[in-house]
Amino acid sequence: MKSGDLFVYRASGTILLSFVLILPLHPASAVEEASMPSAQASWRKALGARIVGPPAAQAQSVVAVCDDGSLRAFGISGTELWRYDSAGKALPHLARSREGTSYLGLADGSLIAVNRSGRELWRRALGGPLVQGALFGFDGRIFAFAATELRCFTPAGFLLWRRTLAAPPSCLAIPDAAGGVLVALRNRCLIRFDAFGGSSSVALEAPVLTIAELSSGLAAVALPNGEIRAFPSIKDGATEAGFTLARLQGEISALGALDGKLAYLLSDGVAGLLDLAALSAGSMGAGSMGTELWTGAAPVPSSANSALLSLDERGVYVLDDKGAAGFAWDGRRLWYLGIKGASTLPAFSDDGLLFSGGNDWILYAYRVEERIRTGVASLYGRAPLRSYGLSEPYPGEEIEDPYRFEESAVDSFLAAVEERLRSGEISGDEKDFSSRLRAIASATIDSGPSAQATHPAVLPFARVRAVELLARFASREHIPFLCLLFEQEEETLVRAAAASAIGTIGVDPEGTAMAAFARAVFPPRAVRDERLLVSLTSSVGALCRFSGPPLSDEGIRLLVALAASERPSRVRSRAVTELESLMQ
């Protein structure tokens, strides 16, 4: 910090500016500093309640959860978008998926999904109250931690699996590079869960303060003695199998990683950056150490788990309830904003705004950067860089046993999958089940005029059941397959089931399904079958309710066309019902 840094004090809803003189914390490591942002809020909104957890900023909007159980959404210019009342005591744990769905927890152990228009989609009972915000997999699946349990849900609220933890988490769990989660427990155990419920663990000799996942797949943990230790692999039964990345002088409050760089924040407000490029290249092992690129004063004194580090292509950002700071990748401190009277950690948006909730029941927005993240979509969050491979390019799946497509074998398999879904324990069989369900559902579609059947024909009823079960996996990775089935299948019942399945999954961030539906509604490929149009109409309504705008804007256009007088009466009636539900 330097003389002249601006602090923001909050008292009775009034902002007071004060200049303070503080000596640099680490003169030897001081870096060049850019000009400070204005401490005057760009806008503020009185909420009538106190914000209890960090706001969630995404796609030109911000959502905050308040102590009256409400969830409030605002645009980046301060316009109130909607308000949702949970009718319960809200916990300070809020997260938003790529589609803009907000997930919040209640003290009674409920997990609630609220779409980007403020409509409650579903609520599920957990094994106890949430202990942190939900985490998300590549396909939007939700990882929810209660005190000693981890549950995995689909975006539509179906339970895929649950795992009991031997002890509560010792710090915030994080998504890992493979689409699973990494968590450290209070019993000094580090566990990696994959997306399908599989796990591996390593026993540590000291408790973990905070963790980070490196792009190379390394798990980095901060220990109480100031050591950052790395684990290239986590194997069951292993004990302390890692190596030291750095030994720092002080307690580590937070870690963050991006592109071979590891950022850290110490409890005295010193931030730093380590270069791990050599480790990513394969020179890992005893004696491997990261190269320190720079250190600088945040300055935001913090204890473990009371601050966050956020890294993107613009730089390294320190977020604490006492203030926030931004550093360029070369170590220059770009800005610092000190905050007094904050009720929780702030949130930094892709648009360069810092959102902070005050004990004065006001949400503040500060313009701290003019730079906007590259490649930011204005309507949805960032797309995942990888997938789980749940829906390989169709057709041409390998069929190991053609007899499993005999009628009795198909019925037995479908019954087994349905029972596993009912019990909420699909876990490691999800890929195999998905592949076999796709093969059953698409039993009559050929890849071309010369294609030959690879298995016996499957009855339409069984194919419909396969599509319905596939929908309950609710992975967005199945959307392209279902769209193909909807557009190319000859059997109307199966086409209608594919349309309904898309609505059950509920997400269509790329607009693939809505485009397929539009081709079926408007010439030259408009369909006339009443059953198919009714299923399509219901699916469009479901997508609109789940995703909200902008997907719902296109969906409403389709529903209006389906409600036209020339449509069959059942189709018109369904379209009107769906339109009315969207207006509620």
Q: What is the CATH number of the domain that holds 72?
A: 2.130.10.10
pLDDT classification of 13: cutoffs 50, 70, 90:
very low
Q: Are residues 467 and 319 in the same domain?
A: no
Question: Which pTM value belongs to this model?
Answer: 0.87
Report pLDDT for 374. Answer: 77
Asked whether residue 391 is assigned to any structural domain, the reply reads no
CATH assignment of the domain containing 498: 1.25.10.10
Which pLDDT value is given to residue 8? 44
Q: What residues make up the domain containing 66?
A: 6-367
Question: Is residue 13 domain-shared with residue 74, that is, in the same domain?
Answer: yes
The separation between CA 39 and the C-alpha centre of its own chain, rounded to angstroms, equals 31
- What the block records as the tokens of 341 is 């009277």
In a domain, 232, yes or no: yes
- Which of 28, 2, 44, 20 has its CA nearest to residue 361? 44
- Within-domain flag for 380: no
Q: Is residue 420 part of a domain?
A: yes
Residue 136 has pLDDT above 90, yes or no: yes
Separation of alpha carbons 387 and 474, rounded Å:
14
Q: Would 76 be classed as within a structural domain?
A: yes
> What pLDDT was estimated at residue 21?
26
The answer on 334 and 457 residing in a single domain is no
Are residues 227 and 165 part of one domain? Answer: yes
Give every strand in the sheet of 56-58, ordered side by side: 56-58, 61-65, 70-75, 80-85
Task: Say if residue 85 is in the same domain as residue 199.
Answer: yes
Q: Does residue 489 sit within a domain?
A: yes
Measured CA to CA, the distance from residue 522 to residue 558 in angstroms comes to 9
Give the total residue count for the chain: 584
Q: From CA 315, how far away is CA 150, in angstroms rounded?
A: 32
Residue 23 falls inside a structural domain? yes
Q: What band does 243 get if pLDDT is binned at 50, 70 and 90?
A: confident
Report how far residue 547's alpha carbon sits from residue 86's, in angstroms, rounded to the nearest whole number. 19
310 with 168, same domain: the answer is yes
Which is nearest to 162 in space by CA: 186, 124, 126?
126
3-state secondary structure of 512: helix
Cis peptide before 550 (omega within 30 of 0): yes
Q: Are residues 192 and 87 in the same domain?
A: yes
Q: How much is the average pLDDT of 482-491?
A: 94
Domain annotation covers residue 394: no
Residues 275 and 216 in one domain: yes
What distance in Å separates the CA atoms of residue 153 and residue 505, rounded to the nearest whole number? 12
Domains contained in the chain, number: 2
Q: Which of 367, 388, 423 is the last residue of a domain?
A: 367
User: CA 569: distance to chain centroid?
Assistant: 41
Per-residue pLDDT band at 302 (split at 50, 70, 90): low
Residue 253 and residue 333 in one domain: yes
* β-bridge partners, 175: 181
Q: Which of 367, 389, 412 is the last residue of a domain?
A: 367
Name the band, by pLDDT with cuts 50, 70 and 90, for residue 238. Answer: low
Same domain? 45 vs 156: yes
